[in-house]
């Protein structure tokens, strides 16, 4: 049973991610019959730490406090991605996992776990902006770029900012059951569980600048509602289909079909957010033909439906 929670900080910590951990695990909710944790905030770099917002945090405990923790949490920080980590912190994290404790990271805090070797052979998550960098830094980790959080044994990792709430509530749900997790979520005025993954939050990029297929990419992006085959695209690029497919893969890292599908989903996201068009009309404009086709690919790509996505991301209705 989870009883003892420690949050370990490095210089440059993000206050919001720290606040998430304090809110879920650090508040006394015994009056509502909810669990109370022996909670501590620990410094890995001295008695006073700077936050990325400019103020400092003091009255922190030392790394020895990690020896007692059932759960050690590492929030994000503006210097956490590329830096030298205190060896004593990395040793403490490894020892904690070896004795049966769990570790949880929020956003870029996962890089600390990677430096400790805790991601090797495990699935993990971070903010979509850091996914490629995490995979490059720790090639033995199985980075999941589209999810809100990952639970892989003793290591729980989450995507950016608010996904830390999802991961924390997941741990509470595992340890104490859904009733406790739901009660804490109600107190925080957040959903106890969010559908989908962070793929739905990724910005729509411009067509990649490529040496030989860049012109075709730009044409494809302007004609997402049109049917197109590799043969037609190859003819436009003045290549054989086989050569075009190989060059496309080399320069974009994916196949023409997958690139086109992703661009169509991204266009549908924009239209769902910014227009009053029906789902059928959006399906036609984005190349999916009908609402059923759009729904199918939305679920496969983003883990949610067009209607749920629109309700989540749509701004307030304009009044004429």
- pLDDT band for position 58 (50/70/90)? very high
Mean pLDDT of the chain: 88
129 has pLDDT over 50: yes
Q: What percent of the chain has pLDDT over 90?
A: 60
List domains and CATH numbers for the chain.
4-199 (3.40.50.880), 214-313 (1.10.10.60)
- pLDDT band for position 318 (50/70/90)? very low
Predicted pLDDT at 200: 54
Predicted pLDDT at 79: 75
**Span 52-74, average pLDDT:** 94
**Span 246-272, average pLDDT:** 86
120 has pLDDT over 60: yes
312 has pLDDT over 80: no
- pLDDT band for position 195 (50/70/90)? low
Q: What is the 3-state secondary structure (H, E, C) of the chain?
A: CCCEEEEEECCCECHHHHHHHHHHHCCCCHHHCCCCCEEEEEECCCCCEEECCCCEECCCECHHHHHHCCEEEECCECCCCCCCCCHHHHHHHHHHHHCCCEEEEEHHHHHHHHHCCCCCCCEECCCHHHHHHHHHHCCCCEECCCCCEEEECCEEEECCCCHHHHHHHHHHHHHHCHHHHHHHHHHHCCCCCCCCCHHHHCCCCCCCCCCCCHHHHHHHHHCCCCCCCHHHHHHHCCCCHHHHHHHHHHHHCCCHHHHHHHHHHHHHHHHHHHCCCCHHHHHHHCCCCCHHHHHHHHHHHHCCCHHHHHHHHCCCCCCC
pTM (2 d.p.): 0.67
**Span 222-238, average pLDDT:** 92
Predicted pLDDT at 287: 94
- pLDDT band for position 138 (50/70/90)? very high
- pLDDT band for position 19 (50/70/90)? very high
- pLDDT band for position 56 (50/70/90)? very high
pLDDT in tens, 275-297: 899 999 999 999 999 999 999 99
Predicted pLDDT at 93: 98
């Amino acid at each position: 049973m989870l009883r003892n929670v420690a949050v370990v900080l490095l210089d440059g910590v993000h206050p919001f991610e720290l606040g998430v951990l304090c809110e879920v695990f650090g508040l006394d909710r015994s009056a509502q019959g909810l669990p109370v944790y022996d909670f501590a905030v620990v410094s890995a770099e001295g008695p006073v730490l700077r936050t990325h917002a400019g103020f400092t945090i003091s009255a922190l405990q030392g790394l020895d406090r990690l020896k007692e923790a059932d759960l050690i949490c590492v929030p994000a920080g503006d210097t956490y991605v590329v830096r030298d980590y205190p060896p004593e912190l990395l040793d403490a994290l490894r020892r904690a996992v070896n004795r049966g404790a769990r570790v949880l990271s929020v956003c870029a805090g996962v890089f600390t776990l990677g430096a400790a070797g805790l991601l090797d052979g495990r699935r993990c998550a971070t903010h979509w902006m850091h996914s490629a960098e995490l995979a490059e830094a720790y090639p033995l980790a199985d980075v999941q770029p589209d999810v809100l959080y990952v639970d892989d044994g003793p290591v729980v990792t989450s995507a950016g900012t608010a996904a830390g709430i999802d991961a924390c509530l997941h741990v509470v749900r595992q340890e104490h059951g859904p009733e406790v997790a739901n009660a804490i979520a109600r107190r925080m005025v957040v959903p106890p569980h969010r559908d989908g993954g962070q793929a739905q939050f990724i910005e729509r990029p411009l067509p990649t600048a490529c040496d030989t297929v860049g012109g075709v990419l730009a044409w494809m992006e302007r004609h997402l509602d049109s049917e197109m085959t590799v043969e037609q695209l190859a003819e436009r690029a003045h290549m054989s289909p086989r050569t075009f497919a190989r060059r496309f893969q080399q320069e974009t890292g994916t196949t023409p079909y997958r690139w086109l599908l992703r661009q169509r989903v991204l266009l549908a996201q924009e239209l769902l957010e910014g227009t009053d068009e029906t789902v059928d009309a959006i399906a036609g404009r984005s190349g999916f033909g009908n609402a059923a086709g759009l729904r199918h690919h939305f679920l496969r790509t983003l883990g949610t439906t067009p209607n749920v996505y629109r309700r989540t991301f749509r701004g307030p209705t304009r009044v004429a």
